[in-house]
Amino acid sequence: MEDEKKCILIIEDNEDVRELIKLCVEQDYATLEAADGAEGWDMAVSEIPDLIITDVMMPEMDGNEFCKNLKNDERTSHIPVIMLTARVAVEQQIEGLENGADVYLTKPFNAQVLQSYIKNLLKTKEALRLRYSQKMLFEPTGVEIGTVDKKFMERLMHVTEANLGKSEFHVAELAKEIGMSKTVLYKKFFAITQTPIGGFIKSLRLKKAAQLFENDKLNISEVAWEVGFSDRKHFSKEFKKFFGKTPSEYLGGRADDEDA
């Protein structure tokens, strides 16, 4: 997934301007196009692009309303937005930024300036994702992210932890509980953490297993069952990959069954 071109959604009601923006970015990025804010909103929540460029003055839903909706919806709150407009008043720029725009760029815009903003926004997001990716595996509740994303992650953690003992609980079941499609959940989670959601669920199972071992009450088979592994051998293999030790080694010889 990392090798794929980043996707930019262009929302602009003027076809000529939309085509001009596309010409500025299509060499380096995959593009999606929408002719107004309402169409752009539908596309944003279904496709989860990596960045959005939107006009302010548009029919159906203007750029400020679009941006406000985007930043307050947990499916899309992580997506950076560049707002393009002919409105140059400081008050209007402040309105756009307060509604969640990351960059406010006036028309006519310089293509190189636009390209630089896109590159810098994506680079910053990528750096944050890389910073969070390892922390998510070991300290998921300690990750510092925006309010909407934080609430999303807290809800995701709560649902996942409540279902760790169910061997049939995987990404599809989590997506249903969260109220997102599997594709949207995958893209949203990966955009925040650079970690596949399936790997995250597995990491929580294994961390829970380690906690149960530390309580010194259950054997390996019982712990495997408690965290949703129906196959003890598979559990031992995954545990060693995650912690660098087999369950028996982790227990320091206290186990009453083997890892094989």
Give whole-number Cα distances, 213 to 9, 44, 131, 247, 254, in Å: 48, 44, 29, 8, 10
pLDDT digits (tens, 9 = 90+) for 47-101: 999 999 999 888 889 889 999 999 999 899 989 999 988 876 677 777 777 777 8
CB count, 10 Å around CB of 111? Answer: 13
pLDDT digits (tens, 9 = 90+) for 161-194: 999 999 899 999 999 999 999 999 999 898 888 7
How confident is residue 218, by pLDDT bands cut at 50, 70 and 90? confident
> Measured between alpha carbons, how far is 247 from 259 in angstroms, rounded to an integer?
7
> Measured between alpha carbons, how far is 31 from 6 in angstroms, rounded to an integer?
9
Cis peptide bond N-terminal to 59, omega within 30: no
Domains and CATH numbers, the chain: 7-129 (3.40.50.2300), 200-251 (1.10.10.60)
pTM of whole model > 0.85?
Answer: no
pLDDT at 13: 92
Closest CA relative to residue 258, chosen from 224, 220, 227, 231: 220
pLDDT at 1: 47
CB count, 10 Å around CB of 2? Answer: 6
Closest CA relative to residue 160, chosen from 178, 181, 135, 143: 178
